[in-house]
């Protein structure tokens, strides 16, 4: 994992676990953990991971924008899917090694009525449709997720 990705993951954890009211506060916490970041880097990280500033009862607070977080996850999932294929009864999604369970979880969380469920192995996800007629709908939906990042 790259240093940037590690830092951004740590920022997400900090924003989830603590009330952060200013970039300087976050920068200091990161510095204590060995991450030396400038204000410009922190601003870019905020844009990359979807951090927004909201007003709460005590003033301002930084949080992860739920909409942006969902988009970021969808982009990552799109990068992890290599191929989508199907026969008359099941859809097979090929992923990067070790990522099938995460992709299966993402597909399950779409809560689509056309999908009964998924099974994720190491690099393969089996997607069970509710009906044969919905296989093209599901395949197109998954392919669309793949293409959102390209």
For residues 109 and 82, the model is more confident at 82
pTM (2 d.p.): 0.56
Q: Which of 99, 103, 127 is nearest to 115 (CA)?
A: 127
pLDDT at 70: 58
Q: What is the pLDDT of residue 35?
A: 93
pLDDT of residue 119: 96
- Where are the domains positioned within the chain? 3-64, 69-147
Q: What would the two tokens of residue 133 be?
A: 């007629």
Strand partners, 61: 54
Q: How far apart (Å, rounded) are the C-alpha atoms in residues 113 and 49?
A: 30
- Fold annotation for 69-147: Gyrase A; domain 2 (3.30.1360)
Domain covering 3-64: architecture: Orthogonal Bundle (1.10)
Could you tell me what percent of the chain has a pLDDT over 90? 41
| 64, 15 contact by CB (below 8 A) | yes
CA neighbor of 97 nearest in space, from 76, 85, 80, 111: 80
């Amino acid at each position: 994992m790259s240093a940037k990705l590690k830092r951004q993951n740590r920022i997400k954890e900090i924003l989830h676990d603590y009330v952060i009211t200013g970039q300087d506060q976050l920068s200091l916490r990161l510095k204590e953990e060995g991450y030396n970041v400038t204000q410009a880097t922190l601003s870019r990280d905020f844009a990359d991971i979807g951090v927004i500033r909201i007003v709460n009862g005590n003033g301002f607070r930084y949080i992860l924008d739920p909409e942006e977080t969902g988009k970021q996850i969808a982009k990552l999932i799109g990068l992890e899917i290599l191929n989508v294929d199907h026969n008359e009864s099941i859809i097979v999604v090929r992923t990067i090694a070790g990522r099938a369970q995460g992709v299966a979880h993402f597909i399950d969380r779409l809560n689509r009525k056309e999908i009964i469920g998924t099974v994720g192995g190491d690099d393969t996800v089996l997607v069970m449709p509710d009906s044969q007629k919905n296989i093209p709908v599901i395949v197109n939906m998954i392919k669309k997720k793949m293409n959102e990042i390209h």
